[in-house]
Each structure stands twice: as structure tokens, then as C-alpha cells.
Amino acid sequence: MKVLGVVVEYNPLHRGHMYHLDSSIKLIVPDFIVAVMSGNFVQRGEPAIVDKFARTEMALKAGIDVVIELPTVYAIQDASGFATGSIKILDATNVVTDVVFGSESNDIKTLERVASIIVEESEEYRSSLKRYLKNGLSFPNARRYAIFDQISKEGIDIEQIKYPNNILGVEYLAVLQRIKSQMRAHTIKRIGSSYNDERISEIPSATAVRKSIRFGEKILGIPRFTHHILEREFSAGRGPVFVEDLFEFMRLKMVILGREGLEKLYGFNEGIAKRMIKAVENSHNMRNFLTKTKTKRFTFTRIKRRALYAVLDINREFVKESNEFGPQYLRILGFTRRGRKLLRIMSTHASKPVITNVSKFNKALEKRSVNVSLAHQQLTLDLKSTDFYSLLFKNEIERKVHRDFCKPLEIQ
Amino acid sequence: MKVLGVVVEYNPLHRGHMYHLDSSIKLIVPDFIVAVMSGNFVQRGEPAIVDKFARTEMALKAGIDVVIELPTVYAIQDASGFATGSIKILDATNVVTDVVFGSESNDIKTLERVASIIVEESEEYRSSLKRYLKNGLSFPNARRYAIFDQISKEGIDIEQIKYPNNILGVEYLAVLQRIKSQMRAHTIKRIGSSYNDERISEIPSATAVRKSIRFGEKILGIPRFTHHILEREFSAGRGPVFVEDLFEFMRLKMVILGREGLEKLYGFNEGIAKRMIKAVENSHNMRNFLTKTKTKRFTFTRIKRRALYAVLDINREFVKESNEFGPQYLRILGFTRRGRKLLRIMSTHASKPVITNVSKFNKALEKRSVNVSLAHQQLTLDLKSTDFYSLLFKNEIERKVHRDFCKPLEIQ
């Protein structure tokens, strides 16, 4: 039995995603497809345009059999943390045999070599890392430069790992190596617009699609079912939710936290806390704030992620533990009729509890080897994130909490 | 030299306050008048209708010579904490000779006797207190009933200390006794509408005045200068600020804090946290939330105060220390030309540093015996409260932080 595993955000699902899925299917010819998907907050440090339930429906309509939620603590981290959560989830299913991800270079050998540098942590790599840290670089940046040093010595073109999908690919491969996963990794070549391209082409970027939504333009490059789902959500007043909608809360929250409060959170040091507080105090909207905070290395995405850490109270210890021990449950957001079969197999084989009913969470934890306190922290954040997100809806009647306590979506 | 000390909120200043001040002046015939005044948040657990700078101006226009800010940590506590902060500030000036407060009964002997019960903590009182606590009453309620037991034994009518001004009076007197203050206490009889009366009469209640403002009705019973100041503030878009304006932020904040987060704050136990979370999750505005949370003992005011503790992150340890050690500075909000003289005397005689310039705060702390860490916590909360409050203004241009770094108001 071949089971394809993919990592997605579908924010929202567009033709590029469809192409990617079709190519993966052609490559693997799987019996089933499992996707691990970000919840209501996504890796670029933003709320998703529509909520995880609507995006799960898109995934199922696109041909995914089972959708598992990537816990929020991983979904809003950088490439390394995001990869840690998603690969560990796919591995924990104990049914996924093949993982496919997109890559600009589509040269998996090189990406694997780069990954092994991170995993093996040679003497040379470590001393180079230490040197950069000593020079005052942040850990992610120091690590990047240490990797560049190593790969340029091996004659690998460092430009290769400056592309976002290659970077993420390297991180996926590093996690696979580290946990000695049985899953086979494959890449397919990414086509169409690049990540941040705002111009709509036949294969659009999710950024371009969101921009069309924001400015009320015709949305091009999305399948008919995405259209229907978006229309339904928007007319009910459940979205679209934009990062701008966080601004007022974020500003007040950061003023109350103050510099000392921020410094206790993940991703903040004195300098970053100071810079962000000063910027937010003098801004009247999100764009303003981001522009005032940005530096060459402190990109919009990094700032937005940190803004989310402040909004959601993400503390350092929790992220550290989560990255060390991995996700403590497999939360099922939805499945197809076909997927139900796979779900049954998964429920008996998975190394972490499979949660289809959040209100039975505590009972589910008893069954398998789980770090119970960490599991609670992770789930609590997921539930809070859903509630918080729902309270941002424009339609007051839709501002309801506890949406996570509904049954998973099941479609034919 | 006679210096009259009064404790005020002036939210906003109306004819009743003027009458109260005139009566106090007639009673004491002081050379100077010092007021300690709540900042941007007041004892009923609400943001003030206009900010502390505008209300300071009202106070000075009314004849107060020096206005000192009651630090936020005291201003938003119950009668006991409020009295602790305000009396200790007046005492720390080392210039105030006479304190006058309003009282429904105007029978200071009885109030002093009740205060002494609290202060002396007789064997009998303590065992009665213990019994009520064992029966599951909260500390404030248990304390209340223990006091009732004692005073009814002495033949004092317990109805006497059910009136809000008598209650507060007892707490003032208790603090005066406890710190063995040299200041003499006096009461004057409260006249006019009772505290919560919403009907406007010649002597209005502040509640009635705020209600007129809220519903855009003609504001009766306030002096001309209050009128001018309110008009100016409103037309600039600096207020009116209502407790309703906190709702969206409070709801999102409470959802993120969750039950566990709330339980770490001052004033929350498991039951209260549970009740407030459940109510806020199912409410669409402040009134809704308050009505859903209210019980016979858990009054609107108590709920609103706790909502503020959640909004402003007021933790238990900080309140405990503040009540034990008292305010660590005398922050001057404004003074008259006459007051400048008194301020000079105060600056040399006060037992805590007199702060006229917040940016020189650290330097001021060096001079006198101060719990520096507590002073920082208290001032930080005051500054955050001002910033938070300013960010609630309807006029976006007025949403500026750091208003506390302006010079104190000085008028002729």
C-alpha cells in the first residue's frame, strides 16, 4: 500500500496546488493521500484568509483523503520548526510511505546533502556556527551562514538554497534524516509564479489570490470548488480575515506586555522587543508597523510571526519542548469516504493518538505514549487560536467560540 | 499651616464635588488643598470618561492646589486597596494635616470604632473570619461578615456600614490607624443623589452625568469649567471613553489567557475565571457580558475590576506587595501657582520621591527610601495604563503614547 503525504496550507487552494498534487500522484501512484495542513494561522505569520474548516473542505475536494492539522506552535514557526512539526506528524501516522514536496531546483540529491550538513553537525560546521553567533548574528542567521560555508566548500551553489521551497525542502529532509524516518522523500519542480508574486498568471501564487480578494477583484486561477467555498464563507461573514485585522489587538497587547513582557516570549530579544514596541507605538495600521520595523534581515514574515507570538502568548519553553518532542497528537480535520478506511488503519498504527473528537481528547491521551502536559499545551493553543480567529469575523453572529468541538468534516 | 487632603476621582467633576470641597474648606479653613486622584482607570473598574490630564485641570479649576496621581494598582482595587493607596499617599506628603471624606452617616466616632475592629484583629474577630472563610466565602465577604458580627455585638447598626461612602470611610480610618498617621480625619455629610442614581437632580451623581454624555443629552449639574473641558476633549476626539470600549480587547485577551492564565491574576479563583470566560465567550457587548457574569455577591463593579485585571495583566504578587509597602512615589499631575509653594515644601519633606518629570524617575528614586523594584512596577503600570487608554480614543490622530512624559499641568 502506497500512501502519499504532503504538507499544505491552501490559503486558499489554487491551480498551482492542483498541479502540484496531480504531479505528485503521477509520480507516486498512491492508494491514499494524507495532507498535514496549517490551521487558522499560517507560516507567513498571518491568519489564514478563511478558516481551517473551509480550507479542509478545499483539500478534500481536491482529492486529499485525510487532512491532519499542523498544531499552531509549528505552523507559525520558521522553516525549521514548520518542517519539524509537519514531517513528524506524517511519520507518526505510520501509514505514509512517500513524501513529496515542491522545489525550485528539483535536485533532491543536493538538498539531501545540505540537510545532512545540518543533521551531522560536523566539528567544522559547529565552529563556524559558533563564530557567527559570536559576531552577533541571530541563531537562524548564524545557522544559514554556517551552512553556506560548508556547502560552498563542497562546490554546491549557495544560490540553490536561497529559494524558499528549497529551504523548506532541506528542512524536511533534515527532519527525515534526524528521526531516521522510513518514509521516502521526492521532489517535484515548482512551476508558475514564485511565492510572493502578486501578478495573476495562469498558475497564480496564493499571495496574488489573496490580493484579489482583498481588493474585490475577480479571483483568477482557482478551481470552481474553491470559488464556491470562498463565496459561501464570505457571504456568511466568516472571513476574509487579513493580517490587518490583528492590528488593533496586537498594538494594545504589545503596549500592555511592554518590552519586558515581550522578552519572555519566543523569538524576542531585547533589540527586537525594543524595535517592535517603538514601531507599534507610532503606527496606525499593520503596513505602517511592518515598514517601520523592517530591516534587511528582519523581514516582513519574521516580524509578522513575532507579532503572532505576542498576540497568542507563545513562550520560549513551550516552543523548545514542542520542537524537541514533536506533535503529541494527530488531529483529524476531515476525510473522504475513501479516507475513512485509511483513518481506521491509522488509528491502530499511529504512534500518537488520533483525535477525531476534541471533547474526548483526554481519553485519547491515555492510550499512547504521550507527553501529556505538552499535548495539553499544544491543543490548548490550537483551540485558543480557533476561538481568537473566529472572534475576528466581520459578522457578529459568526463570532462564536468552540468551533473545534464539531465533528471532523466528512465528504463523499 | 493647615493642609487639607482629599481623595477624588472627578469622573467628571460636578456640583456635588464642588459642594463637598466647599464644605471641607469651611470645616478646616486650610492654607492649601492636596488631592490624590485616580488616573485613567477608576475604582468602579472602568476607564475614566476623560483622561487624567483633563480631570486634573478640572480639579485645579475647582480650587485644588496640588493633584497627585493615585497609582493604578490602587485605583482599581476594592475599598480596602483604594484606601490603602490614597491614605498612604496623603500621609507620605508629610504636609497634609487634615483629611476630609464624605459619609452618609457623618458619625465619625462609629466609623472609627468599626475601623479599629479591622485594625486590632481581636481573637474573636479572627476566629469569626476563619469560620466564614471555611464556609467558602471569599476574603472580602468573609471579612465583611466578621465585621458585622463584631459591631452588632457592640450594638452598632450594621446598616450603617452598608453605605458605599461609610464603607470607604471605615477603610480610610483603618489605614490611618494602622500607620499611626498624624493626619486628623473628619467627615462631612454626603448630600444629593446617591452613588448610582441615574436621575439628574440639582446635585447629580457622576453616574448620571456620564449617562447624559453617553446618550448625547444635555449635561446638567456640572460647573462651567467642566463643561468647557469636556467639550474641548470630546471635540478633539479624546474621549468620552466608556467601559464598552474595552469589550473587544477584553474578550480576545481573555480567550488567549484562558482559565489558567486568568487564575494567575489578582482577584481570580477557579470559579470566577470559569464564570467570566464562559460569559465572555457568549457575549457580544459589555452589558451582555456583565449581566451573564453577575450574581448577588459578584456585583458589576467587582466583575469590571477583574476585567481590568485581565486587560492590564495585574498579577497577585504585585498587588500584595503594593498593599503592604504602599505607593513608592508621589506623581504630581498638576498644581496651581499657589500650589507651587506647597510643592516645594513637599519635595523636601515627603517620605517618598516627588515626581514632576517622569523621564527623571530613576534619578528621583535614588534620593529616598524606596522599594525600587516595586516603584518600577507601579510606575510601569501607570504608564501602560495611560498608553492603553490613549489608544482607545476615537480620533486616530490622538492615539498617541507617552503622554505621561509631558510636564505637569500648571495653572494660575
pLDDT tens string A101-140: 999 988 999 999 999 999 998 999 999 999 999 988 878 7
* pLDDT one-digit tens code per residue, A180-204: 999 999 999 887 655 555 555 567 8
The span from the CA of B63 to the CA of A106, in Å, is 80
Compute the nearest-CA separation of B282 from chain A (Å). 7
pLDDT band at B193; cut points 50, 70, 90: low
Average the pLDDT over each of A14-28, A71-85, A190-204, A287-301 and give the range with the smallest value.
A190-204
* pLDDT one-digit tens code per residue, A344-375: 999 999 999 999 999 998 888 887 678 999 99
Q: Would you state the pLDDT for residue A193?
A: 53
pLDDT band at B179; cut points 50, 70, 90: very high
The span from the CA of B183 to the CA of B34, in Å, is 13
For residue A182, which of A117, A92, A100 has the smallest C-alpha distance?
A92
Which helix (DSSP H) or strand (DSSP E) does residue A100 occupy?
A: strand A98-103
Q: What is the pTM of this model?
A: 0.92
Backbone angles phi, psi at A101, to 5 degrees: -140, 155
Stretch(es) of chain A classified as CATH 3.40.50 = 3-105+188-240+322-411
A163-A165-A166-A170 Cα dihedral, nearest 10 degrees: 140
Average pLDDT of every residue of chain A: 93
Helical H runs in B264-371? 270-281, 286-293, 300-312, 316-325, 337-349, 361-367
Judge whether residue B192 has pLDDT over 80: no
Burial of residue B320, with CB atoms counted within 10 A of its CB: 0-12 exposed, 13-18 middle, 19 or more buried: exposed
pLDDT band at A155; cut points 50, 70, 90: confident
Q: Would you state the pLDDT for residue A323?
A: 97
Residues of chain A found within 8 Å of residue B253, distances taken between Cβ atoms: 253
Q: Does B164 touch chain A (CB under 8 A)?
A: no
**ipTM computed for the complex:** 0.91
Q: Does B119 touch chain A (CB under 8 A)?
A: no
Compute the nearest-CA separation of B194 from chain A (Å). 35
pLDDT band at A324; cut points 50, 70, 90: very high
* pLDDT one-digit tens code per residue, B98-154: 999 999 988 999 999 999 999 998 999 999 999 998 988 878 788 888 988 888 888
The span from the CA of A388 to the CA of A391, in Å, is 5
Residue predicted with more confidence, B363 or B333: B333
Q: Would you state the pLDDT for residue B196?
A: 53
Q: Would you state the pLDDT for residue A188?
A: 94
DSSP A55-85: HHHHHHHHT-SEEEEEPHHHHTS-HHHHHHH
* pLDDT one-digit tens code per residue, A14-30: 999 999 999 999 999 99
Query: Which residue from A minimizes the CA distance to B381?
Result: A256
Judge whether residue A142 has pLDDT over 90: no
Average pLDDT of every residue of chain B: 93
Among A40, A72, A251, A400, the residue to mutate for chain B (most B Cβ within 10 A): A251
Judge whether residue A249 has pLDDT over 70: yes
Compute the nearest-CA separation of A281 from chain B (Å). 6
Q: Would you state the pLDDT for residue B139?
A: 80
- β pairing state of B354-355 and B330-336: parallel
Architecture per CATH, domain B3-104+188-238+322-411, reads as: 3-Layer(aba) Sandwich (3.40)
For residue B182, which of B119, B90, B111 has the smallest C-alpha distance?
B90
Stretch(es) of chain B classified as CATH 3.40.50 = 3-104+188-238+322-411
Q: Which of B252, B258, B261 sits opposite A391 (nearest CB)?
A: B252
Give the amino acid at A353: P
Give the cell for residue B161. 456600614
Q: Does A217 touch chain B (CB under 8 A)?
A: no
Q: Would you state the pLDDT for residue A201?
A: 56
Residues of chain B found within 8 Å of residue A255, distances taken between Cβ atoms: 384, 387-388, 391, 401
Q: Would you state the pLDDT for residue A364?
A: 83
Judge whether residue B199 has pLDDT over 80: no
Backbone angles phi, psi at B325, to 5 degrees: -95, -10
Mean pLDDT comparison of B178-192, B199-213, B299-313, highest-scoring range? B299-313
Q: Would you state the pLDDT for residue B162?
A: 83
DSSP B210-241: HHHHHTT----S--HHHHHHHHHHHHHT----
- The CATH code for residues A3-105+188-240+322-411 is 3.40.50
CB-CB under 8 Å, B252 with A313: no
Q: Would you state the pLDDT for residue B411?
A: 86
Segment B280-309 mean pLDDT:
94
